[in-house]
């Protein structure tokens, strides 16, 4: 066997083996140390935010620089929750509607692109790829004009429809790639076994594609959750806006000197926590979806 | 027409008229999915106009048509019209582009944008490539955990990151200045200092790892061919040398994607500036994106804003093409 031979060679030259092993161990040690450093650097602001979110007012600025988790003032979270609960709910509603529309539209389209043949198919798909080259700064102003023309200003539709549309190119690319892997014979054999076409869709296609539909939904949720600019442009009523704009309003209501103290930091945690939980739960889908989309560029 | 016949596609093909396969399918099916399947099995290459395809594709096409393509075209045309959003637009040719190039803020905008784009690309590539190398060299299972731990903050809402850095960079009372004070270092005023404001904007998000580029680099490293790595080890190439001589050249495509993505991101991302400095102090952090935003949504100069938007689009297009050509993979 190959491995046996390699071992034999290494045994014949013991100095070389130990040198390699020692070097490998050294790389591990160096990489572990470096890894610990970059993880610490990445997470230090998060640790400080969580620690500050539990402190009372001025003590954020008066207690020692590195006094982490010295107070546990949970009242901050009550204040923060009362400040942004409405916006959290709005975001969930808007995201759910945008996902329902965007993912359904993209999945139907991807089914056509992957399982049907028709004239102009590759040209039409190019139209989706080309959209990746159109920056949002180009479409921002006319999109606002359209929203006004349609009478959608200050309504959730002004968020839902552009979000659903904006997700189409990415969703179409990752969905098509996935749908193409379903062998047509599988669908055919289900039909032969007596499934009606609706049953084929429900019992074969949907279960098979559920991971990618979930990936698409997660990516859309993260984008909608994090979008600050568009809601501030099309939603005037602070009670109707989504979480990122709501957080900015909440922080601004105290001013930059942070007189709100811990509640400001608590609000930042409240806005971030749902996304962190979501991504921890769906990490594998999320990572594969995000890289696949980028590498298709 | 029974249900048995469509199960034999060849017969349908022969019996039906080739040009209108969907009519036949329509006659023989009761529900939409039935209809779609019959249509598929007729195997005729349907044209774009067939009802089944329209049902499947129309929702998505309508969405991108109305909310992506139409605004894009409208914006490219809109730059040639002066328009305040209320009265009818008037055609002014290239006048608004001219006005922009000769505006007193153009020079600082261009300078700031160049610094932001160059700086963002540099720090993104260095930080994310180094992080990917570190994780790649970790023991396998630990590296996998480290990958997820390092990428997770990508989901933090940008507004949260911006607000956190607004706090970290507060003069005197912010965390960084207090740390500097405790160590006896100078305590700059960061965002309110004309010289440091732009640098402070770049600093937001330090250490800049939790992003797409990190995953792209790591994926590239993990796909490097075993033979090359084995060969380099036999040759006794050191770790640091290997990074520059083997990893970096072989990851050329990944570098290209990350340079393009981070460059485009930097051109467009005026949100931290909008929230933290609004272009100031003076014009120290003023950028074209912010100019566009203010023109349209604060001064009602929609046409002028779209002109700047068009210029930014052309800039990004040119940037992408140049990078694609300049960073072509060099095959030996």
CA angle B283, B286, B288 (to 5 degrees): 140
CB–CB of A41 and B207 under 8 A? yes
What are the tokens at A214? Answer: 């979930």
ipTM summary value: 0.86
Q: Is A102 exposed, middle or buried (0-12, 13-18, 19+ CB in 10 A)?
A: buried
Task: Spell out the residues 6+ positions from residue B83 whose beta carbon is closer than 8 angstroms to its own.
Answer: B89, B90, B302, B303
What are the tokens at B76? Answer: 């490219």
Q: What is the per-residue pLDDT for B91?
A: 94
- Residue B154 pairs in a beta bridge with none
Residues of B in contact with A222 (CB under 8 A): 155
CA angle A140, A141, A142 (to 5 degrees): 100
pLDDT score of B321 more than 50:
yes
Report the greatest alpha carbon distance in chain B: 91
Instruction: Please state the domain extents for chain A.
Output: 2-42, 75-295
Q: What is the per-residue pLDDT for B13?
A: 38
pLDDT per position as a tens digit, B144-193: 899 999 999 999 999 999 999 988 898 888 888 888 888 888 888 899 88
Gap between the Cα atoms of A4 and A1, Å rounded: 5
Contact (Cβ atoms closer than 8 angstroms) between residue B215 and residue B136: no
> pLDDT averaged over chain B?
85
Contacts with B, A 253-282, CB within 8 Å: 256-258, 264-265, 268, 271-272, 275-276, 278-280
Q: Is A185 exposed, middle or buried (0-12, 13-18, 19+ CB in 10 A)?
A: exposed
**Banded pLDDT at B97 (limits 50, 70, 90):** very high
Q: Element (H or E) spanning B91, and its range?
A: strand B90-91
Q: What does the radius of gyration of chain A's CA atoms come to, in whole angstroms?
A: 26
The least confident of A60-64, A223-227, B15-19, B245-249 is B15-19
pLDDT score of B122 more than 90:
yes
Any idea what DSSP says for residue A203? Answer: I
What are the tokens at A266? Answer: 């608590």
Q: What is the per-residue pLDDT for B9?
A: 41
Distance from CA of B27 to the nearest CA of A (A): 16
pLDDT score of B124 more than 90:
yes
Give the chain B residue nearest A128 (alpha carbons): B64
Q: Which of B167, B264, B268 sits opposite A258 (nearest CB)?
A: B167
Q: Which residues of B259-286 are buried (b: 16+ CB within 10 A; e: fewer)?
A: bbbbbbbbbbbbbbbbbbbebeeebbbb
**Mean local confidence (pLDDT), B63-91:** 93
Gap between the Cα atoms of B132 and B218, Å rounded: 5
Return the CATH superfamily for domain A75-295.
MetI-like (1.10.3720.10)
**Mean local confidence (pLDDT), B295-310:** 95
Q: How many CA atoms lie within 13 A of A242 on its CB side?
A: 30
CB–CB of A196 and B53 under 8 A? no
Gap between the Cα atoms of A200 and B15, Å rounded: 26
**Banded pLDDT at B30 (limits 50, 70, 90):** low
Distance from CA of B208 to the nearest CA of A (A): 8
CB–CB of B268 and A198 under 8 A? no
- Return the closest-CA partner of residue B33 out of A200, A187, A118: A200
pLDDT score of B21 more than 70:
no
CB–CB of A198 and B78 under 8 A? no
**Banded pLDDT at B86 (limits 50, 70, 90):** confident
pLDDT score of B114 more than 60:
yes
Selected for mutation to probe chain A from B80, B157, B227 (highest A CB count within 10 Å) is B157
Give the chain A residue nearest B271 (alpha carbons): A229
Contacts with B, A 74-103, CB within 8 Å: 101-102
* Count of Cβ atoms closer than 10 Å to residue B14 Cβ: 9
Gap between the Cα atoms of B154 and A286, Å rounded: 11
What are the two backbone dihedrals, phi and then psi, of residue B82, each rounded to the nearest 5 degrees? -85, 130
Q: What is the per-residue pLDDT for A293?
A: 61
CB–CB of A141 and B313 under 8 A? no
Output the CA–CA distances (angstroms, integers) from residue B224 to B221, B233, B249, B253, in the order listed.
Answer: 5, 14, 11, 12
**Mean local confidence (pLDDT), B5-19:** 40
Q: What does the radius of gyration of chain B's CA atoms come to, in whole angstroms?
A: 28
- Return the closest-CA partner of residue A269 out of B235, B46, B164: B164
CB–CB of B57 and A116 under 8 A? no
Distance from CA of A1 to the nearest CA of B (A): 18
Gap between the Cα atoms of B68 and B308, Å rounded: 18
What are the tokens at B239? Answer: 């770790």
Q: Give residue for tokens 């309110």.
A: B192
Contact (Cβ atoms closer than 8 angstroms) between residue B52 and residue B39: yes
Contacts with A, B 46-85, CB within 8 Å: 46-48, 50, 52-53, 55-57, 59-61, 63-64, 66-72, 74-76, 78, 85
CB–CB of A283 and B148 under 8 A? yes
Residues in chain B: 332
Q: Looking at domain B104-326, which of 1.25.40.20, 3.40.50.300, 3.40.50.720, 1.10.3720.10 is its CATH number?
A: 1.10.3720.10
Q: Element (H or E) spanning B81, and its range?
A: strand B81-82
- Return the closest-CA partner of residue A166 out of A139, A203, A195, A145: A139
Contact (Cβ atoms closer than 8 angstroms) between residue B234 and residue A9: no
Sign of CA dihedral B254, B256, B261, B262: positive
Q: What is the per-residue pLDDT for B8?
A: 39
CB–CB of B34 and A196 under 8 A? yes
Output the CA–CA distances (angstroms, integers) from residue B25 to A109, B40, B52, in the order listed.
Answer: 20, 9, 10
CB–CB of B150 and A34 under 8 A? no
CB–CB of B175 and A128 under 8 A? no
Contact (Cβ atoms closer than 8 angstroms) between residue A138 and residue B309: yes
- Return the closest-CA partner of residue B124 out of B271, B262, B256: B262
- pLDDT per residue as tens, chain A (297 positions): 344 444 444 444 445 556 666 666 777 788 889 999 999 999 988 998 898 888 887 677 776 667 778 778 888 899 889 989 999 999 999 999 999 999 999 998 998 898 778 888 999 999 999 998 899 999 999 999 999 999 999 999 999 999 999 999 999 998 998 888 888 888 888 878 888 766 776 788 778 888 889 989 999 999 999 999 999 999 999 999 999 999 999 988 886 555 567 888 999 999 999 999 998 888 877 777 766 666 655
CB–CB of A139 and B75 under 8 A? yes
Distance from CA of B326 to the nearest CA of A (A): 17
What are the tokens at A152? Answer: 């959608």
Estimate to the nearest angstrom the gap between the alpha carbon of B153 and the chain centroid. 18
CB–CB of A112 and B53 under 8 A? yes
State the pTM of this model. 0.84
**Banded pLDDT at B322 (limits 50, 70, 90):** very high
CB–CB of B309 and A137 under 8 A? yes
> pLDDT averaged over chain A?
84
């Amino acid at each position: 066997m190959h491995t046996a031979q390699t071992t034999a060679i290494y045994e014949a030259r013991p100095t070389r083996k130990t040198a390699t092993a020692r070097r490998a161990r050294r790389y591990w040690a160096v990489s572990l140390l470096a890894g610990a450093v970059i993880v610490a650097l990445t997470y230090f602001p998060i640790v400080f935010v969580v620690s500050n979110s539990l402190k009372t007012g001025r003590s954020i600025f008066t207690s020692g620089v590195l006094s982490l988790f010295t107070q546990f003032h949970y009242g901050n979270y009550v204040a923060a929750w009362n400040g942004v609960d409405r916006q959290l709910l709005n975001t969930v509603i808007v995201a759910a509607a945008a996902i329902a529309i965007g993912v359904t539209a993209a999945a139907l389209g991807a089914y056509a692109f992957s399982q049907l043949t028709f004239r102009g198919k590759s040209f039409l798909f190019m139209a989706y790829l080309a959209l990746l080259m159109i920056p949002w700064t180009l479409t921002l102003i006319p999109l606002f004009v359209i929203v006004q023309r349609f009478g959608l200003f200050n309504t959730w539709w002004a968020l839902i429809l552009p979000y659903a549309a904006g997700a189409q190119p990415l969703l179409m690319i990752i969905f098509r790639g996935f749908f193409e892997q379903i062998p047509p014979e599988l669908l055919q054999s289900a039909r032969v076994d007596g499934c009606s076409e609706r049953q084929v869709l429900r019992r074969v296609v949907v279960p098979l594609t559920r991971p990618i539909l979930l990936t698409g939904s997660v990516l859309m949720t993260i984008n909608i959750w994090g979008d600050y600019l568009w809601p501030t442009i099309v939603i005037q009523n602070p009670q109707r806006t989504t979480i990122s704009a709501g957080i900015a309003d909440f922080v601004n209501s105290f001013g930059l000197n942070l007189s709100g103290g811990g509640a400001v930091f608590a609000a930042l945690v409240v806005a971030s926590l749902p996304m962190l939980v979501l991504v921890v739960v769906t990490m594998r889908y999320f990572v594969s979806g995000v890289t696949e989309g980028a590498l298709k560029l | 027409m029974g249900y048995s016949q469509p199960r034999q596609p060849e017969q349908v093909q022969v019996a039906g008229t080739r040009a209108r396969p969907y009519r036949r399918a329509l006659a023989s099916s009761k529900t939409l999915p039935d209809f779609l399947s019959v249509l598929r099995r007729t195997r005729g290459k349907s044209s774009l106009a067939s009802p089944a395809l329209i049902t499947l594709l129309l929702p998505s096409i309508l969405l991108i048509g109305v909310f992506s393509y139409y605004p894009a075209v409208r914006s490219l045309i809109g730059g040639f019209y002066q328009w305040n959003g209320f009265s009818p637009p008037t055609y002014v040719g290239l006048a608004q582009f001219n006005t922009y190039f000769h505006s007193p803020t153009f020079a600082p905008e261009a300078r700031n944008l160049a610094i932001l784009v160059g700086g963002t690309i540099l720090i993104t590539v260095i930080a994310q490539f180094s992080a990917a190398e570190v994780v790649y060299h970790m023991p396998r299972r630990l590296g996998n955990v480290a990958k997820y731990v390092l990428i997770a903050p990508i989901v933090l809402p940008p507004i949260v990151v911006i607000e956190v850095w607004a706090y970290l960079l507060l003069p005197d009372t912010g965390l960084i200045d207090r740390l500097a004070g405790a160590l006896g270092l100078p305590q700059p005023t960061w965002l309110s200092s004309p010289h440091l404001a732009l640098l402070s904007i770049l600093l937001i998000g330090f250490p800049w790892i939790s992003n797409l580029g990190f995953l792209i680099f790591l994926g590239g490293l993990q796909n490097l061919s075993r033979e090359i790595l084995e060969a380099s080890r036999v040759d006794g190439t050191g770790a640091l040398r290997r990074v520059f001589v083997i990893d970096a050249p072989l990851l050329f495509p990944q570098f290209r994607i990350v340079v393009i993505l981070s460059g485009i991101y930097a051109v467009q991302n005026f949100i931290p500036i909008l929230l933290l400095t609004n272009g100031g102090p003076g014009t120290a952090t003023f950028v074209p994106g912010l100019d566009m935003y203010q023109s349209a949504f604060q001064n009602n100069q929609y046409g002028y804003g779209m002109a700047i938007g068009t210029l930014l689009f052309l800039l990004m297009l040119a940037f992408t093409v140049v990078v694609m050509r300049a960073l072509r993979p060099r095959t030996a």
